[in-house]
Amino acid sequence: MVVGELAEERELVIIGGGPGGYHAAIRAAQLGLSVLLVEKEDMGGVCLNKGCIPSKVFTQLARKHKEMSHYQKMGLDSGDVSVNLSKLQDYKNSLIAQLKKGVSSLCEANKVEIVKGTASFLSQNKIGVENGHSFTVYSFQSAIIATGAKREQPSFIPAYSSRILDEFSIYELSNLPEELAIYGNSYIELEAASSFAALGTKVTLVLDGELPFDDSINKELTRVLKKMKVKLLSGFTPDVSESLEGVSISLEKEGSDSVTLETSYFFSARKLKGNLDGLGVDRLKMSLTEDHFIEIDETCRTSIPGIYAVGDAVNSSPLAVKAIRQGKVAAENAAGLPSEYDGMLLPDVVQTIPPVASIGLTEKEAAEEHDISVSTYSMGGNGFAQLIGEKEGLIKVVSDSSSDLILGIHMIGSGAVEMISGAAVGMEMAGRDEDFSYPYYPHPNTSESLQEAMEALKGKAVHLPPVKQKEYSV
C-alpha cells in the first residue's frame, strides 16, 4: 500500500467511539473544533454493545423478578412468573440498536464526522484510516486515543466455549442455567452472581481475594449473597476443564484439601490490557505502563504533545464514568480551555441485588490519615424501604472528627445508585455532615437514610437507638 503526501486536515481526530470517544467528540464540537471520529466497529463501544447495557438488562430483570413476591403480598395478582431469556435477548438487541442510533444522531447533530475504519498513527500529526481497500490520511492539530482495552483469557481456562463463559457471552444465554460457578471478585462477577441467583440459578461464587468495598459493605453483601443461597468460597485457585455433561472445576488451596465442583456453566471475566495493537504508538515512542496502558497527566495528555488518551486505554478503574469525564477534559484541553481530571472522588457502583455504591475513603483508608468519626444506618429503619420490601442494606459515613469533613460514603441497599450522585456533589464541594443533614429530603423515600446516617455522626438520628449512634473517634 502506497501512502501519498496529501492529507485531509482536521483540528481534532478521535480514535474510538465508546463513552470516552463520543463524549469527547461532542464536547469538542460544542467548543467549535472540526472533529473526526474514527470507529472500527460499533458506536457506543463495549459499554453500549457488550458490557454495561447488556449486563444491566439482566440485572434489572433479576431485580424485578425478585421483587414480584413482595408485590404479590401487596395485592398484585400476577399468577406464576417465569423467566424467558430468549425474549430478553430480543429486548436487549432492540435496545442496543436504538441507543446506537441515538449516539450516531447526537454526533451528527453536533457536526461530528464519523468515519468507519482502523486508525494508526503515521507521525505526531498524521493518522491513516484503513477501511477495506481504501486508505485515507488525515493531519490534525490534536488527537484523542479512546480505543479502550483488550481482554486476555485467564491461564486457568483452557478455552472459552458454550459452557465456559466470558463477560460478554454470559449475557448472550437464551436459557437460564440450572447451575453456574463464577470465579472473581470484581463488580462484573458480583453482578452476575447476584442476578442469576435471583433468577433461580444455583450459583457458586469462588472469590479471587477479598470483596473490594469497605469492610461493613463487604460483611453485609456477604450476608445478602448467602441469604440468596449463593455458595461462597475463597482462597482457592481454579483449574477448569469442560466435559460433555458440563464443566469441572478443581479448586486448590495451600494447606487445604482440594475441592472439585461439577456444574453446568462456568464464568470468569477476562483481565484488561491497553488496546493499542496496530495503533502505531510505538512509532511515536509514547510512554506506556508495564501493562501496556498509556501514561497520561492530569490534563489527559500523553507524553506526545497534542495527543491525549482517555478511558480504558489508560490505567486505573475500567469504568465508563471515568472515560466520560476524561473525554470531556481531553476535548477541553484540545480546544485551549484549562481542564483537569481528578479521580479521587470517582463513585463505584455495582448493580447487585441490592446495589452497592460508594465514594471516597473506606474506614480503614481514612483512619490511616485522619482522626475519624463513623456512623452506620440500617436500611431496615427506613419506612419506605420497608414499604417496598427492600430492608436489606446499610449506609456508612466516614468523617474527619476535627473538621467534620465527609471523607467517605458507602451504601448497599435500594436507591444506593441514585443517592451516590448527591453524595458525589456534596463531597466535591467539601461538604461537612451538617451540609448533608440540613437540606430537606423527600418523604417517604429511601434517601432519608442518607440524612439519618449523617445525623447519627452527632447522635441526632431519630430512627436509630441512641446506643447505635454514639460519635466515636479512631
Catalytically annotated residues: 443
Q: Is 341 annotated as a binding residue?
A: no
Q: Is 139 annotated as a binding residue?
A: no
Q: Which of 114, 90, 110 is nearest to 174 (CA)?
A: 90
Contact 302, 308 (CB under 8 A): yes
Q: How do strand 8-15 and strand 35-39 relate by DSSP bridges?
A: parallel
Q: Is 189 annotated as a binding residue?
A: yes
Measured CA to CA, the distance from residue 141 to residue 125 in angstroms comes to: 6
Q: Is 458 annotated as a binding residue?
A: no
Q: How do strand 356-360 and strand 406-412 relate by DSSP bridges?
A: antiparallel
Backbone torsions φ then ψ of 182, nearest 5 degrees = -130, 140
Contact 70, 388 (CB under 8 A): yes
Contact 435, 423 (CB under 8 A): no
Q: Is 186 annotated as a binding residue?
A: yes
307 to each of 38, 39, 146, 275, 284, how far by Cα in Å? 15, 17, 11, 16, 10
Q: What angle do CA 355, 358, 361 make, to 5 degrees?
A: 155
Q: Is 421 annotated as a binding residue?
A: no
Q: Is 307 annotated as a binding residue?
A: no
Q: Is 123 annotated as a binding residue?
A: no
**Residue 410's CB: how many other CB atoms inside 10 A?**
30
Please report where in the chains the cell 511515536 appears, as a residue.
Answer: 284
Q: Which residues does the annotation place in the binding site for NAD(+)?
A: 184-191
Q: Which residues does the annotation place in the binding site?
A: 56, 184-191, 312
Q: Which residues does the annotation place in the binding site for FAD?
A: 56, 312
